[in-house]
Amino acid sequence: MGSGTKILMDLQDAYPKILLVKLSSLGDVLHNLPIVSDLRARLPEAQIDWVVEEGYVHLLQPLLSIEGFRGIDRIIPFGLRRWKKSLFKLQTWKEFFAFKKELQAVSYDVIIETQGLLKSALVCALAHKSSNAVVAGLANATEFSGYEPIARAFYNQCVQVPKQCHAIDRSRWVMSSALDWPLLDRQENPASFYPETHVDERGPSETPRDLGVLKKPYILCFHSTAREAKRWSNAHWISLGKSLSSKGYQIVFPWGNAAEKKISAQLASQIDGAIVPDAFSIQEAFPMIAGATLTIGVDTGLTHLAAVLGKPTVEIYCDSPRWKTEGYWSNRIINLGDIQAPPTVDEVLGASLRLLSQ
């Protein structure tokens, strides 16, 4: 009998209390979402809470339990990124202790930590636990992912995963081990991210303040990413944009900082009708993506958001392994390229036209 089974048997008449710890970043949080529905399907009365960096709270809000839908019971915001910038301010420590109090308001039976970093392991250490609580986390790194071995010291169940393991499968591996369940199969248990009605409810009618400049049909092109090597060349974006623009689509180049905005402007200036929108929040990204006819993007969080929402999406891989985050759950997602093998313009254009014709 595994320790997870023992916990659930010991509880019997009680409802298990489960804490998920996945702090960041945008894509990583998105690829951790399916374990919420996995847990809820098998433990419908469990309490499920999630600690996440405060900047990504909006990604989880659609999963909050409401009448007729049971998802996450509590979202616990964690402000580490902001706190590190002002460690010696009294307000920072007031906020930290308020976070600690909120975290420790519940005694958890199972803690599932799928990030493998010291900061997330420390959250596990801070959490209040029942006497036989399982604290499960990664025993090893997967290729091309951040991992800090010291985090293992904070788990009582270290979970070995394959070195080449999709981000969703990795989270499911840790969850299944924590609860002594068989590993969930992709085909038999498709990944589920948001309630089916979420995209419809948060669609184009809820327009961000700058969405009025968009002219349907429009195509979002996420060219920016944190690492320069993961970018697709500007010349490719211009060639692709010209081809799609000639077919009547407005090309939109979002951005995340001043340097990216400059590149967006350079790209848009060479494509008829292309625009550079104003800055928008993660919350505003939902309706913007929902209203797009197509999203084309490199391996970055907002491209993955489009794929998670089930929208027509072309994912471009230039210098990261496709197996790690590719959208495999929908025929409306086409994944192209691989590490050090970016796709050609013709490949991306062909994939785009196939999705546009569906």
User: How do residues 170-184 score in pLDDT, each as one tens digit?
Assistant: 999 999 999 999 999
Over the stretch 283-337, which tens digit does the pLDDT of each residue have? 999 999 999 999 999 999 999 999 999 999 999 999 999 999 999 999 999 999 9
What is the pLDDT at residue 258?
96
**What is the rounded distance in angstroms from the CA atom of residue 103 to the CA atom of residue 50?**
10
Burial (CB < 10 A; 0-12, 13-18, 19+), residue 337, is buried
Residue 264 has pLDDT above 90, yes or no: yes
CATH superfamily of 201-356: Glycogen Phosphorylase B; (3.40.50.2000)
Average pLDDT, the chain: 92
**What's the CATH fold of domain 3-195?**
Rossmann fold (3.40.50)
How many CA atoms are closer than 13 Å to the CA of 36, on its beta-carbon side?
30
Give the mean model confidence (pLDDT) for residues 57-67: 94
Q: Any idea which of 64-68, 75-79, 103-107, 199-203 has the lowest mean pLDDT?
A: 199-203
What is the pLDDT at residue 213?
76
What is the pLDDT at residue 13?
40
pLDDT band at 6 (very low <50, low <70, confident <90, very high): low
The pTM for the full model equals 0.93
Helix runs in the chain, H state only: 3-11, 26-32, 34-42, 57-60, 80-83, 90-103, 118-126, 167-178, 198-201, 234-245, 258-268, 282-290, 301-308, 322-325, 345-356
Q: Where are the domains of the chain?
A: 3-195, 201-356
Give the mean model confidence (pLDDT) for residues 251-257: 96
> Which amino acid, one-letter code, is at 38?
D
What is the pLDDT at residue 52?
98
More confidently predicted of 125 and 208: 125
**What is the rounded distance in angstroms from the CA atom of residue 255 to the CA atom of residue 222?**
8
Residue 204 has pLDDT above 70, yes or no: no
Q: Any idea which of 157-166, 192-201, 280-289 has the lowest mean pLDDT?
A: 192-201
Residue 77 has pLDDT above 90, yes or no: yes
Give the mean model confidence (pLDDT) for residues 57-68: 93
Angle between helices 345-356 and 234-245 (to 10 degrees): 40
Mapped onto helix, strand or coil, the DSSP state of residue 50 is strand
What is the pLDDT at residue 125?
98
DSSP state of 197: T
> Which amino acid, one-letter code, is at 8?
L
Beta bridge partners of 66: 69
What is the pLDDT at residue 68?
85
Tokens coding 320: 């990261």
Residue 226 has pLDDT above 50, yes or no: yes
Residue 156 has pLDDT above 70, yes or no: yes
Give the mean model confidence (pLDDT) for residues 211-217: 77
Give the mean model confidence (pLDDT) for residues 23-35: 97
**What is the rounded distance in angstroms from the CA atom of residue 105 to the CA atom of residue 51?**
13
137 within 8 A of 155, measured Cβ to Cβ: yes
What is the pLDDT at residue 108?
98
What is the pLDDT at residue 14?
52
Give the mean model confidence (pLDDT) for residues 261-282: 96
